[in-house]
Each structure stands twice: as structure tokens, then as C-alpha cells.
Amino acid sequence: MNDKTAALLDDVVSRLEKSIVARDCPAIVVLNGDRRPALSDYDDLRDDATAAAFETRAAAKAHEIGAMR
């Protein structure tokens, strides 16, 4: 990895960490199984109930596709 790519990666990770701490970020899950769906929910961190609902949907989809990780 070159210096510019490393700097960009560090910047993106830093911004993401700040967003997570501030609960101001979308949830994105990529599941690896029989298929590889990506699930996202931009409101998932609005409150605990929507976060739990997203996690429940992601778990159900993981079971449905036989996710390995």
C-alpha cells in the first residue's frame, strides 16, 4: 500500500469511528454464504429498537443463506 492509499484509509476509518461513536452512521452487513447479500439500513441507529430490528433481520438472512461468517 502506498502512502496516499494509507492516508486515505486512515482518514476513512477515523471518520467512520467518529460516526459510530456519535451513532450517526448507516449499518451495512455483508453476509458470506450460498449467496452474498449486502443489507443496509440508514435508520438503524436511530434508537435501540430499530438497531435490534436490523440485527434481527440480518440474523434471519444469515440463517436463510447458510452464512459461514
pLDDT digits (tens, 9 = 90+) for 38-66: 666 656 667 778 878 888 888 888 888 88
CA 53/CA 6 separation, integer angstroms? 35
The domain spans of the chain are 25-69
Of 30, 62, 18, 27, whose CA–CA distance to 47 is shortest? 27
Per-residue model confidence (pLDDT) at position 64:
85
For residue 53, the SS3 value is helix
Residue 41 backbone phi and psi in degrees, to 5: -155, 110
Per-residue model confidence (pLDDT) at position 50:
80
Cα within 13 Å of Cα(63), Cβ side: 5
**Which pTM value belongs to this model?**
0.51
